Amino acid sequence: MKPMRLRLLPAFLAAALLAPTAALADMPAPLPAWDAVPLARNKEKPDLVLTGTVDRSNFQRNVAVPFDVPRGVIRLAVELTYTRPDGKTVINLGLYDGERFRGWSGSNKHAVVIDESSATPSFTPGPIGGRRWSLDLGVSHIDPDTTSTYTAKIWFWRAGDTPAVSTFSPEPLAADAGWYRGDFHLHTGDSDGFCDSRRGRHVPCPVFRTVQAAADARLDFIAITDHNNIAHHNAMRELQPYFDDVLLIPGRELTTEQGHANIFGTTEFIDYRLGEKSVPDAKTMLRAAHDAGALVSINHPGAPNDHRCRGCGWIAPRDAMAEVDAIEAVNAGRLWEQLAGADGGGDITIWDAEIARGRRLTALGGSDNHDMQLGRLGVGFPTTVVYAANLSERAVLDGVKAGHVWIDMTGKPGHAIDLKAMAGGVQAMMGDAIAVPAGQPLSLTVTVAGSAGGKLVGLLDGKPAPALSVEKIDGARAELPLEWRSDGQRHWIRFEVREGGKRVMMTNPVYVNFGR
């Protein structure tokens, strides 16, 4: 019998509604969505299933159920269900790892996830594999002449396993495909994020303040990317069930003397100590992140790398770029430059140069926020908007990988831009590649909302193209048809919206004749 993962009646429960009351009581209660195990991709079947019975002889006693966890397992997940023939049986769930107590949920949780950096509330993170663990089943009530059957499904995660849905949630937070707004670069008190305490002192800021700021900014998702750290994952696992309208994506800012890179979608520790035997160079470091299932993005690549900002600019050897999926083309630092009257597009130029080399790297935005009290110029400034199949970690990161991303430099809901391309009956969206033979037209449709009076700037191969530009956007929502004729060569076409000469939105490109 499969526990309920979505807010729908599972088949076994629907059938039981037609069965006698006694039969229904003898079935395990379905688990609510938050009280289920987030599974690894292609690993829905548990690695181990433990079954047994308890009866009145176990009343108010603890039943140990041992099991072995093989070496190499980095995450343990347990789902406990049990029958209640008397309608009153209650079995509590605890765990021991063979050396120490690892947690006790009482009877309020039936799904437990533990890895080295995070654990379901009531449980303790720490080493997982190569131990003889034990369930601690506390039978707090069972009627006389009653036998209850328990089932514990156990999943083993190994290095490189990636979530089928999300690390901290067993189901998408929203089921519909669409554009989701988020921030891919945030810091908390688990590295160098600070905020004011209740008495007004500047203190390391707890993770929940950043998540609340994201909710206040009406973001759909955030990645918390503390420097080299994994400690924030424990708080994220605790907070996700409560913040069930803000997807929490595990991240890390690998912080080295040769540059900073965010990694998304893994909680595994990635060694950042360049020059050590385990990580001799940046390419090895980023490949390890990929091997762990992460997506890799270079941060603020054009920042100084000297006494002004140690290690901030990307100066790693060229071969490391082969392991990069995305570039933070817009960091809040660049937006502050733009607010001060400068161009602020230095990182965009670096991104364009990588595309010119044939790399289809996705442009992301990140606030790099270290103080959630900055309001509109803090969390979500800029906002990265991703087209995803649903609001889950897997779908959002797949959307990033595909380049289905645009950046809102204002951080204010209400702005929107979309880009569609059509050639030879084939349609593409931003991030996609499309083949256009020489002499054939490429039809482009740019839809803009929230920028009436602004200017649409089309860029061909990173340079403004007057034929792809519109001097004035009319109306709160405008659908702008454009056409470009191919020369059969490789090109990339993207768009920016500017107001008063300042960028307020930008798309990822449509890639023409780039191949797959």
| Tens digit of each residue's pLDDT (9 = 90 or more) over 126-164 | 999 999 999 999 999 999 999 999 999 999 999 999 999
Q: Measured between alpha carbons, how far is 122 from 128 in angstroms, rounded to an integer?
A: 16
144 CB-contact burial (10 Å; exposed 0-12 / middle 13-18 / buried 19+)? exposed
Q: Is the pLDDT of residue 32 over 90?
A: no
DSSP states along 218-264: T-SEEEE--BT--THHHHHHHHTTT-TTSEEEEEEEEEETTEEEEEE
pLDDT at residue 473 greater than cutoff 80: yes
* 178-412 is classed CATH 3.20.20.140: yes
User: 112 has which bridge partners?
Assistant: 78
Tell me the per-residue pLDDT of 216-255, one tens digit each, with 9 for 90 and over.
999 999 999 999 999 999 999 999 999 999 999 999 999 9
User: Could you report the per-residue pLDDT of 211-227, keeping only the tens digit for each?
Assistant: 999 999 999 999 999 99
The pLDDT value given to residue 27:
59
Residue 16 to residue 27: CA distance in whole angstroms: 8
Going by pLDDT thresholds of 50, 70 and 90, the confidence category of residue 14 is very low
**Global confidence as pTM:** 0.93
Cα 182 off chain centre by: 10
Q: Is the fold of 11-158 the same as that of 178-412?
A: no
The domain defined by 414-516 folds into Immunoglobulin-like (2.60.40)
> How far is the C-alpha of 188 from the C-alpha of 50, rounded, in Å?
40
pLDDT computed for residue 307 by the predictor? 84
Q: For the chain, which residues make up each domain, given as ranges?
A: 11-158, 178-412, 414-516
pLDDT, one tens digit per residue, over 156-167 is 999 999 999 999
Please tell me the predicted confidence (pLDDT) of residue 108. Answer: 87
pLDDT, the chain, mean? 93
| Confidence at residue 107, expressed as pLDDT on a 0 to 100 scale | 86
Q: If you average pLDDT over residues 111-123, what whole number do you get?
A: 97
pLDDT band at 327 (very low <50, low <70, confident <90, very high): very high
Looking at the predicted structure, is the pLDDT value of residue 17 above 90?
Answer: no
404-443 b/e (C-beta count within 10 Å ≥ 16 → b): bbbbbbbbeeebbbbbbbbbeeeebbbbbbbbbeeeeebe
Contact (CB, 8 A) for 494 and 507: yes
Arithmetic mean of pLDDT, 173-195: 97
**What is the pLDDT confidence band of residue 400, given thresholds at 50, 70 and 90?**
very high
Please report how the helices 207-216 and 232-239 are oriented relative to each other, as an axis angle in degrees rounded to 10: 50
Stretch (H or E) spanning 63: strand 61-69
Residue 57, classed as helix, strand or coil, is helix
Res 15 pLDDT > 50? no
Window from 201-205, 310-314, 478-482 with minimum mean pLDDT: 310-314
| Count of other CB atoms within 10 angstroms of residue 469 | 17
Secondary-structure breakdown of the chain: helix, strand, coil percentages, each rounded to the nearest 5: 15, 40, 45
CATH architecture group of domain 11-158: Sandwich (2.60)
